[in-house]
Structure 1
């Protein structure tokens, strides 16, 4: 049996969500999947994949526009394959402490596309970001990296298992 081919697409503004997507892709590859990680705005065809993971950073309660457009552009194909969604955003430990439900727009997409599940991971606001709001957060002590690699890997292992990947 061939390894499941999985697309991990992400919409990221400052790079934290891209880092989560890369970790998911690396874990899926370690589990025996053929995982490809791409920015969501470059994805125009998902028909060559056995499953798709689509993630987006959250800004002011909205999913990243690149992730939203990717979901809309590929909706017909996404409805016909296993799909998992993730969000990144809380710049605190809340995502590790309890499940955070998807924001309203993501919940609608989940239902419309038949996504299997959604998870929210902590985000990161780092001093090197070019975003003025993020820089102000860091200046006022609200920055940091709240991504949890163990939690990200555990979720990716779960996806690999669902798709029948073997080590």
Structure 2
């Protein structure tokens, strides 16, 4: 039976949800079962053999609902393979170099024994929620900086690791 993976995400304007959708799609294509849910909809992570968790970054922090998800499900997350991703830089920096996790995520990675973390570029376009986000777009600093080839490559590596572990057991 293929490993069941939860792909959970925190998002404000939908950009991180689209990254999570791309991750789940790759996992499924590689033969895994993947459920895609916003963090606020997840009741229990115990049915899953692995978890991929992502959040948008705002002011150098993950969204509150994603942080609460890690706290609420911490023990179960630490008991299974866990990968984290952040979405946020509104420039090409995430495609040009590895951006380390922000402090809170770095601490969570250690506490939850996460297998890895990656930061992807963000997306902030017309119609964004929030006064600050709208100001950023109005001042010409928005745009779509997500690199879906990199996202798909990262998800493929996760699938390969899970499938290799599954074959060994």
TM bracket, shorter-chain basis: over 0.9
**In the TM superposition, what are the counterparts of 1:25-44 in structure 2 within 5 Å?**
25-44=24-43
Length-normalised TM-score, structure 1? 0.96
* Number of the residue aligned with 1:72: 71
Aligned length, in residue pairs: 165
Deviates more, 1:102-111 or 1:134-143: 134-143
Aligned match of 1:138: 137
Q: TM-score, normalised to structure 2's length?
A: 0.95
Question: Which contiguous aligned blocks of 4+ residues in structure 1 show a shift greater than 3 angstroms?
Answer: none
Structure 1: give runs of 5+ residues left out of the alignment.
none
Q: Structure 2 CA distance, aligned partners of 1:130 and 1:44? A: 26
Structure with higher helix content? 2
Q: Is the 8 A contact 1:44 1:73 kept in 2?
A: no
Separation in structure 1 between the aligned mates of residue 11 and residue 91 of structure 2, nearest angstrom: 18
| Alpha-carbon shift at residue 128 of structure 1 (Å) | 1.7
Q: Is the 8 A contact 2:12 2:129 kept in 1?
A: no
Q: CA RMSD in A?
A: 1.2
Can you list the C-alpha shifts for 1:99-123, whole angstroms capped at 9, x where unaligned?
0000000000000000000000000
Q: Aligned pair 1:152/2:130, yes or no?
A: no
Counterpart Cα distance in 1 of 2:13 and 2:152 = 21
**Greater CA drift, 129-138 or 147-156:** 129-138
- How far did residue 5 of structure 1 move? 0.5
Task: Note the alpha carbon deviations across 1:51-88, whole angstroms, 9 max, x for none.
Answer: 00010110001111111111111011111100000000
For residue 114 of structure 1, what is the aligned residue in structure 2?
Answer: 113
Task: Note the C-alpha offset of 1:129.
Answer: 1.3
Contact 1:44 1:74 in 2 (8 A): no
